[in-house]
Structure 1
Amino acid sequence: MDTKHSEKPSAEWLTGVITNFVAASPLNGVDAPLGEKMWDVPLVGFSRGDDPVYQEYKSHIGSFFWTPQEIFQLTFPDLEPAPQDLTVISWILPQTRATKDENAAQKVYPSRRWVITRDSGEKFNVTLRRHVVETLMQTGILAVAPLLSPHWSRQTSLLYGFASNWSERHAAHAGGLGTFGLCDGLITPLGKAVRAGSVVAKLTIPATPRPYQNHQEYCLFYSHGTCQECVQRCPVKALSSSGHDKDRCNQYLRSIRKYILKNYSIDMNGCCGLCQVGVPCESQIPRAKLE
């Protein structure tokens, strides 16, 4: 794909940079482990660097959580751009139907396709982050992918436990792409069986409207007091009406590392996803059943 661009980047152009790469890259096709696409057509959204929601994240999650301005200044210390001069570009990579169906059939361990997508699919997401940054830099626009920054690190939140100084899901929420569910997954118009990515750039793009009033609006449990099907999907009871027990979830993820290595020849942990599939919000924003 020709990445040269003589005009000021627009939302349409940036969306094309992302969707074209996902569609055309052999890493998401013939060169992928199964010789098939790991990700379907992505969603793309934008949020302003001065959006108050980033300060809200910081106040709730912890002082370690970056605003767009903070990660940009860490990356380019000689510059002091105003927050309103920055844009956060976010995207959602949806799992394929085959991957979702295969994992939905599982009761205890993740399926082969799911593990491959979590491993090689996230490596592709890393490549996509670099592609977006490099494409912007070629046009003279400074940009950084927060999760690829050497300053990025895991942290512990007093309120939420396991955390880090940037969250792709929170950036996507700010960019109008979804709200959070009972299991902490981001429910998007394409469901919550997804991965997310983001880049902070020194340019101004109109923000994508957030078509929701609160951060849990799309979850049937939080909005209607119903569902909880993700609770039933969890093999270790790490989900309940009280939310997501991150410690129990993480212990389980570590415990199945040997299973994944033995059965799929992939040495990794942190992979399950059973709560993301076989549920009403798997592939769409769920609708409450009419009585």
Structure 2
Amino acid sequence: MMNAEPLATWLTNIIKEYIASPKNSMEKWDNEPAWGEPLVGFSSGADPLYQFYKEDIGDFYILPHEYMKHMYKREYKPEQLTVVSWILPQTEATKRDHRKETHFPSERWARSRIFGEKVNVKLRDHVVKQLEDNRIDAVAPMNSSIWKGATSEKYGYASTWSERHAAYAAGLGTFSLTDALITPVGMAMRTGSVVLDAVIKPSPRIYKNHTENCLFLAEGTCGKCIERCPIGAITKDGHNKVLCRAYVNMTRQYVQRHFGFEGYGCGFCQTNVPCESGVPEKTIK
């Protein structure tokens, strides 16, 4: 049960305790953890960024209060809602293994993508249940029946909710040349979120713009992710989602044959790069 501690602290502890438990598992190697210690941040359901996402990405984008309305069949004021976001960093073991690879995923990386994301899905549900048990309405957009993939006229592959964009709103990182989020614990991570019917003070966004943490986009240096991409899907002009998806799908047969489970993975642009495990220092001050 929630006690007298602030709601933000209580939620942060729930998320961290779940990831510290045996439920955070690769489902191999004596239940080796899939993720390191999470980062947690908060944004307001009325943050103008969410409306901007809908206008910029596409009208199909569903706002926090719209997910809540669908779940509970009543109206919610956006300013009364909070979005809690978290970052699940890849473990040192996973990053170490994946740095060595150049064309196909390491087993740990592929497992984190499949079994680690299963942990993330269950974490979303766990956070929602804990809130509901304390009489706070909540919904996990990615686990909602109205979440679906979509096509943006401007950006191509998209969906009705973006965990990365929610994390950006919560002050947890900025976007990279690869479209991934560079967070204080790096780009090698997964992210999740839950919308709740309570007001929590938003986390500060200490960055000045949405690409500040990327050396290439901020100052024209680095470009290591371009070199790491085995299919040429990352160039100085950005991330080719079509090529990227085709390559990721191609890895399915490799994962099945070599590791014995149905899965896939790439993520070379997230390891053996300066932003793998943190925000890289800029050379231009």
Give TM class, smaller chain: over 0.9
- Output one character per residue of 1:89-108: Cα deviation in whole Å (capped at 9) or x when no partner: 00000001110010011010
Does 2:90 match 1:86?
A: no
Residues 5 and 139 in structure 1, CA contact (< 8 A), matched pair in contact too:
yes
Residue 51 of structure 2: aligned partner: 55
Q: Deviation of residue 277 (structure 1)? A: 0.3
Between stretches 186-195 and 249-258, larger displacement belongs to: 249-258
2:135 maps to amino acid = G
1:14 equivalent in structure 2: 11
SS of 1:284's equivalent?
A: coil
The answer to whether the 8 A contact 1:218-1:285 is kept is yes
Distance (whole Å) between structure 2 residues aligned to residue 46 and residue 144 of structure 1: 15
Change (3 A) 1:244 1:178: same
RMSD: 1.4
CA–CA distance in structure 2, aligned partners of residues 170 and 196 of structure 1: 10
Unaligned runs of 5+ in 1: none
**Map of 2:36 onto structure 1:** 40
Report the Cα offset of residue 43 of structure 1.
Answer: 0.1
Q: Distance in 1 between matches of 2:249 and 2:12?
A: 36
Query: What is the TM-score with the length of structure 1 in the denominator?
Result: 0.95
- Which of 239, 243, 251 is the aligned partner of 1:248? 243
- Quote the Cα distance in structure 2 between the aligned partners of 1:290 and 1:173: 23
1:129-144 alignment to 2 at 5 Å?
A: 129-144=124-139
How far off its partner does 1:257 sit? 1.1
- Note the C-alpha offset of 1:34: 2.3
> What is the rounded CA distance, in whole Å, between the counterparts of 2:245 and 2:2 in structure 1?
44
Take 1:50 and 1:28, find their aligned partners in 2: how far apart are those partners? Answer: 32
User: What does 1:229-248 correspond to in 2, within 5 Å?
Assistant: 229-248=224-243
Three-state SS of the structure 2 residue aligned to 1:19 is: helix
**What are structure 2's unaligned runs of at least 5 residues?**
none
Deviation for aligned residue 1:268: 2.4
Structure-2 residue corresponding to 1:277? 271
- State the 1:254 CA deviation: 1.3
> 1 CA distance for matches of 2:200 and 2:284?
39
- Distance (whole Å) between structure 2 residues aligned to residue 266 and residue 214 of structure 1: 40
**2:55 alignment partner AA:** S
Residue of structure 1 aligned with 2:98, choices 77, 98, 103: 103
Question: 1:157-168 counterparts in 2 under 5 A?
Answer: 157-168=152-163
The 8 Å contact of residues 83 and 196 in structure 2, kept in 1 or not, is answered as yes
After superposition, the C-alpha distances for 1:39-83 in whole angstroms (9 at most, x for unaligned) are: 111000000000000011111110011111111111112x21110
Divergent runs of 4+, >3 A: 6-9
CA contact (8 A) 1:228 1:241 kept: yes
Contact 1:6 1:139 in 2 (8 A): no
Which amino acid counterpart does residue 273 of structure 2 have in structure 1? V
Aligned counterparts of 2:49 and 2:262: Cα–Cα separation in 1: 37
Match of 2:185 in 1: 190
* 1:19–1:42 Cα contact (<8 Å) kept: yes
Q: CA deviation at 1:125?
A: 0.5
Question: Shift in Å at residue 6 of structure 1?
Answer: 4.4
